Amino acid sequence: MTEQELRDEELINAAAQKLFDTYMASNHRGKLELIQKAFNFAKEAHRGVRRLSGEPYILHPIAVAQIACEEIGLGSTSICAALLHDVVEDTEYTHDDLENLFGTKVANIVEGVTKISGGIFGEKASLQAETFKKMLLSMSDDIRVILIKISDRLHNMRTLAAQRPSKQYKIAAETLYIFAPLADRLGLNRIKNELEDLSFRYEHPEEYATIVQQLHDSQMEREQTIDKFIPAIREQLDILGVHYHISARVKSPYSIWTKMQRKHIPFEEVFDILAVRIVFTPADRQHEIEDCYRIYGALTRIYKPHPARFRDWLANPKANGYQALHNTFMSHEGKWIEVQIRSDRMDEEAEGGFAAHWKYKEAHFDETELDHWLGSIREILDDPQPDTLDLLDTIKLNLFASEIHVFTPKGEIRTMPQGATVLDFAFAIHSFLGSHCMGAKVNHKLMPLSYQLKSGDQIEILTTEKQHVSPDWLNFVTTGKAKGKIQAILRRENREKQNRGEEHLRLFLTASGVAITTAVYDRLALFHELPSRQQLFMAVADGHVEPGDDDLLFLSGKKKLKGQKSGGWRRFIPFMKSSGEAPATAAAQQQSPEAKLSAIDFVKQINRKAVLVLNEDVLAHCTIAPCCSPIPGDEVLGYITRDHTLEIHRRSCAEATKHKTRHGDDIIACSWDMHHQMQFPANIHIKGVDAHGVLRAIAEVFEELPQLLVRGISISTNDGIFEGRLEVCVFDTDDCATICSRLLALKNVTLAVRLE
């Protein structure tokens, strides 16, 4: 062996021995020889292969198996499958080979994991909805498939630094969009938090580093707060004779950041960064819930509880099985501190999840919330979904939801997510009721389709044969089932309409002697300024486009593209700063079809693996995405659209997240290089106490910043509070920060933030 091979062998054997030791220290312990056999097989199968980081590839499946064993608590079957999970996909070995050597269960789990890897996020991800469906359906038979895939994704995230930036964005987005919610739904709290934080670290490295530093800088203050807060609690628990331990929990960087974004507040105003967790071992397991309430009662004798922050997840656990009592208490130093009370069993399930105790382990396992969730997934899968991401969107609606309990006319109780409407309830009962629903009697009062249900409501659905599903219904349904059924009906109707339009266009072209190809349809869509041939067929069916002589002249090259209509593509044309004058604004104007063709040519030259530098010349060929309106200083990426043009999005944009998850290979890493060459539109949200002279003071702020243009100001007042929106033109995010800080310095302004 060479020196490098000896070092590799030492690394591999050390990792494998750690796995074996972890397994032998667990409650399983029975099949070490089988695990060693799987390790030796995988080691030989992957011999000579290295990861992008340069390490031997076999270290990856060992790490995945370590996570499955140590962090999720799975047994020998899962550990073997984790060790072998890439063998079928990356080597010459087959499912039959694994079945012969390791048995049917291991081989089937490996096959399930392979389907997820190659199916959902393969080269043609948007065409793989059927594969994703199969994986989800397999979860009800063996949840270990998705648990191993979560372990696989966790290790990939821990080693993501070896990937190029555009690949990092794709993988981080998939993780936030799919795997973190799945981990949460399966009760894997520690893993969920780590997946979120790692995604945050790679998508927004500067914000991540800032929050980590702020947590470090405030650590001593938190420790002092805890040292003063806990002794009185210990005294009370000792009086009760409870066997307990107390720990402090710090909110994760990702959770802190999302709260800052959602509430437009700085780090210093996130008050629930710190929480105290009391975990006790009950003397009698049957009385652990009563013990939780006893401990809570003791705390109220020491500290004042917050009247609106009490959370009781004992009588009604969260959908993922979480049980605990939470409330926020006022310390003697005047600080609000959250306290969580759990038994040791509740704590173990909260952190590690109950998924590892699935039915394959205990035949008498009762039906759980996970059963209900998987059942709802099956209902969603009944309808065809043309796109994987649409399917994921629908399923994600089932992942997070506070629950309410409502009643049918006969008094049967139904569990619905918080925010569910009459229409959601109708589809939950039956698809026919939903598609023909015209309203409902809620507690014997007539209510519309959009009425949001409340716990305790009794609902009687009213129907009519004349009712038809409308696209507007998607605006006020919240459940995956309702959304899926509505989309399926609308898709069916759209397909019928497209077929009519295509047939009408086909007859016209055939009669005119034009050979029919998809390229012909695409050219006609461009001629009529429609984004796709499907939209062209729809327009023909609706009568908005009537094929005629102009179409034939365009196809023959005798007629040029029409001028751009409203609603077309948009870009910003840069204007250089003139000597002695304020810089002109980057004007938003419609992009002509000729410019769009130039943009398509530009995209063909992009190196997708490199970082694209956004300067004045590059932006002339790009679209600034109106959904998030990025400006220099924002963390951005490029997305190559279906029209083969380049859109620039903020990395945190919801649409960009969908693009990263749906079309990761069309994501381009980007960085700014503008140097105040061009201005961009931005919106500032402002709020404060209404007083005489406020508007003048706001105007004076901009008089002191003459280089920044104000495009519009709208302010309204109500009960002594004013709120408004400022539309400004800025060079970069530093300009926005300057505007906000100067506005906040005004006497009566309490909030000034850039709108996302």
Distance of CA 517 to the CA centre of its chain: 39
Catalytic site residue from 90, 348, 655, 723: 90
Catalytic site residue from 8, 89, 312, 344: 89
* pLDDT category of residue 676 using cuts at 50, 70 and 90: confident
- Strand order across the beta sheet in which 445-447 lies: 445-447, 437-442, 459-463
Say which range, 27-31, 418-422, 506-510, 631-635, has the weakest mean pLDDT: 27-31
Rounded Cα distance, 651 and 637, in Å: 6
* Of residues 573 and 691, more confidently modeled: 691
Contacts of 163 (CB under 8 A, 6+ apart): 52, 171
Q: Is 89 a catalytic residue?
A: yes
SS3 287: helix
List b or e across 222-258, with b for residues whose CB sees 16 or more CB atoms inside 10 angstroms: eeebbeebbeebeeebeeeebebebebeebbbbbbbe
The model's pLDDT over 437-468, given as tens digits with 9 standing for 90+, comes to: 999 999 888 999 999 998 778 899 999 888 88
Say which range, 141-150, 255-264, 435-444, has the weakest mean pLDDT: 141-150
Contacts of 522 (CB under 8 A, 6+ apart): 533
Q: What is the rounded average pLDDT of the residues 502-510? A: 90
Q: What is the rounded average pLDDT of the residues 251-258? A: 93
Residue 303 has pLDDT above 70, yes or no: yes
Q: What is the rounded average pLDDT of the residues 706-721? A: 85
Contact 668, 612 (CB under 8 A): yes
Residue 77 has pLDDT above 50, yes or no: yes
Give the closest residue to 369 by CA, choosing from 340, 412, 398. Answer: 398
The model's pLDDT over 2-61, given as tens digits with 9 standing for 90+, comes to: 888 899 899 999 999 999 999 998 877 778 999 999 999 999 999 989 988 889 999 999
Mean pLDDT, the chain, whole residue set: 82
The model's pLDDT over 307-323, given as tens digits with 9 standing for 90+, comes to: 888 889 887 777 667 88
Q: What is the rounded average pLDDT of the residues 704-733? A: 88
pLDDT at 578: 31
Backbone angles phi, psi at 114, to 5 degrees: -65, -40
Q: What is the rounded average pLDDT of the residues 288-303? A: 94
Residue 351 has pLDDT above 90, yes or no: no
Contact 605, 589 (CB under 8 A): no
pLDDT at 561: 64
The model's pLDDT over 603-629, given as tens digits with 9 standing for 90+, comes to: 888 888 888 999 988 988 888 998 889
* pLDDT category of residue 128 using cuts at 50, 70 and 90: very low
How crowded is residue 178: how many other Cβ atoms within 10 Å of its Cβ?
23
Q: Is 90 a catalytic residue?
A: yes
Say which range, 63-77, 107-121, 490-504, has the weakest mean pLDDT: 107-121
Instruction: Give the pairing of strands 680-689 and 749-754.
Output: antiparallel
Q: What is the rounded average pLDDT of the residues 78-91? A: 91
